[in-house]
Structures are given as C-alpha cells and as structure tokens.
Amino acid sequence: QTRNAETYCDTDDKLITDPLCVSLSELSSSALSKLAPLEAILFDIDGTLCDSDPIHFCAFRELLQQVGFNNGVPISEEFYSANISGGHNDDLARALFPDLDHDKAMKFMDDKEALYRRYINSYLLPYYSMIW
C-alpha cells in the first residue's frame, strides 16, 4: 500500500488514512518491545537500503516511450535525473502531462508503479553494506 500526501497524523501520532499504522504507544507496548526495548524505528526512504532509482528510471523510460512522450524517443538518464527522480507522483503527473486530464495522468503513474514493482521483484538487491 502506498502512502500519499493525504496521509497525516492526529494528536495521538496515528496515521489517520493508513490502517496499517499504529501509534507509537502501541508499538512500545507490543510483545516485541517486551523482549527488547524499542530504541529506534527505521523508516526506509527510497534509496536508503537499496539503489532503486535505476529501476524507477527503467519503468519511466519504458512507459513514457509507449505513450509517445518525447515523440516516442526514450528519455535519457539526464532528463530523468533533472525532471523525475525524487518527485512525487502527483507532481510528476502534472509536470509530465500538463495538457492531459489529471485522472489519466495519474493512471499513467499507477501503471508506472505497477511496472516498477514487477521489476523490483526480479532485479532489486540490497546495498552490500546493509547485509549483516
């Protein structure tokens, strides 16, 4: 399940729109925390534990070419780095397809995410230094 800009916290530290999240107080009283005190929580910002950006690039390049972006010429890594890498899907949909209905542009982004997820199942490896 992906999180988006509409995900936010209430005063109890619960993510309101994400049923998979629990409050910090619930985490600290879990069975796991009784075995070992909870001292930190690691959030994997994309690219922290593995280099996923090249896979995002491949997914964007393939799908943008399919829809005729840039007259069907595959995007370059330079274009990807300058215009796409690190961007949020909603912002990218508006930037890449300014004249397209936003719902259709977001459909493209959903398709890109699906292709990315298929690719990561086959190609993504953790950073060597992250394997203990």
Give the CA dihedral 65, 68, 70, 73, nearest 10 degrees. 50
* Residue 122 pLDDT: 79
Q: Could you tell me the domains of the chain?
A: 1-41 (no CATH), 53-128 (1.10.150)
Q: Is 36 exposed, middle or buried (0-12, 13-18, 19+ CB in 10 A)?
A: exposed
Q: How far is residue 129's CA from residue 72's CA, in Å, rounded to a whole number?
A: 39
* Residue 27 pLDDT: 46
pTM of model > 0.75:
no
* Residue 38 pLDDT: 65
Mean pLDDT in order along the chain per 10 residues (132 residues): 35 38 47 65 65 90 97 96 95 97 97 93 66 54
- Residues taking part in catalysis: 44, 46
